[in-house]
Amino acid sequence: MRIGVIDYGMGNLFSVEQALKRLDAEVVVTSDEKELRTADALVLPGVGAFPDAMKRLEETGLIDFIRNNNKPLLGICLGMQLMFEESEEVTPTTGLGIFKGSIKRFTDVSRIPHMGWNELELAHLPAWLEGKSLPNDRHVYFVHSFYAANMADEELVASADYEGVRVPGIIASGNFTGMQFHPEKSGEFGVFLLREWLKGVEV
């Protein structure tokens, strides 16, 4: 299985690459569209500010490629947020528009960023988790100051509670999946989710 990690200059590429390799995936890290088209599935990582990331994606010419991609694609952290319609981070910015909703800054909470372990509550199972025996411990590791709001309920797979704020943790629509947390840094459950997503690619 060949996984293309989209390199647009703003990703936690090493940790994602190593996590995929530990799960026996062949990994290519590139911004070259031709190389990415040879992959069985794609990963869109991301660390940093939303406007900077969209600018870098535009500079690499990958926006239309991502939007029109029909292979399984997993967005992680900022990579997930980029797939929403818009963000208010720094300055109002249009996103990829794959998922409905917008990226908002946390308000009325005691600490920003939201950082630490939270339990995921499943709303429904995506195809790649159907029929699977899920671990009892479903805690994952979050580090973020902005979260997805006003999203479509049917696209919400799992969420976590942060001081009364429902934080979308996993979202899915068609061949696109997003994880707000870092699965490669989220212990056994994070590895489980990443492994099952990869198995879903093979089906």
Q: Which positions are annotated as active-site residues?
A: 77, 182, 184
* The amino acid at 161: D
Cβ distance 17 to 5 under 8 Å?
Answer: yes
Q: What are the E-state strand segments in the chain?
A: 2-6, 26-30, 41-44, 73-76, 86-87, 93-94, 102-105, 114-119, 121-122, 139-144, 146-149, 156-162, 165-173, 176-179
Neighbours of 58 (CB within 10 A): 11
Extract the tokens encoding 59: 């500079």
**Are the C-beta atoms of residues 115 and 163 closer than 8 Å to each other?**
no
Q: Which amino acid is at 123?
A: A
